[in-house]
């Protein structure tokens, strides 16, 4: 009888330890996954912040130039260290819509790849067409 009680206590102790280790393993997997997801979102936020600054730089260059040709379509890679980014510029006359004959609508799209996904950021402005 005494021997049977010792075996039951040993078996229940082993079962409790097995359950505790299982709970700990599941908890660690959840914690590690949340850290990986946070790291991915931080990397994505960093690339979007850089992309918005580069897009702002491109738009400022367009506005400082002051004039663009009608129906222009250009695509270019940015120079180092931003060679992962590509800028597309397209213009179209906007005068009919806004009753202003020398006005172009300029659309700028900045694109880049993050892992296997393609990301885009775009902006539009109005610029006078070449005299």
Per-residue pLDDT tens over the stretch 55-112: 999 888 888 877 778 888 999 999 999 999 999 999 888 866 666 777 888 899 999 9
> Is residue 50 a contact partner of residue 111, using CB atoms and an 8 Å limit?
no
128: Cα separation from own chain's centroid:
32
pLDDT band at residue 5 under the 50/70/90 scheme: low
* Residue in the block written with tokens 């599941």: 26
Instruction: For residue range 63-76, list pLDDT tens digits in order.
Output: 887 777 888 899 99
Q: How far apart are CA 85 and CA 44, in angstroms?
A: 14
Q: How far apart are CA 131 and CA 53, in angstroms?
A: 30
Number of domains in the chain: 1
pLDDT higher than threshold 70 for residue 113? yes
* Residue range(s) defining the domain that contains residue 119: 2-129
Q: How far apart are CA 128 and CA 102, in angstroms?
A: 5
């Amino acid at each position: 009888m005494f021997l049977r009680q010792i075996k039951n206590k040993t078996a229940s102790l082993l079962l409790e330890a097995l359950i505790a280790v299982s709970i700990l393993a599941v908890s660690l997997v959840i914690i590690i996954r949340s850290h990986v997801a946070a790291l991915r979102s931080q990397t994505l936020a960093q690339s979007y912040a850089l992309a918005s600054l580069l897009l702002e730089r491109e738009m400022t260059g367009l506005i400082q130039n002051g004039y663009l040709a009608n129906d222009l379509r250009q695509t270019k890679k940015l120079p180092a260290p931003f060679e992962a980014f590509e800028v597309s510029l397209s213009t179209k006359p906007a005068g009919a819509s806004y009753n202003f004959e020398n006005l172009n609508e300029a659309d700028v799209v900045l694109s880049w790849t993050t892992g296997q996904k393609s990301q885009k950021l775009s902006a539009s402005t109005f610029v006078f067409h070449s005299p």
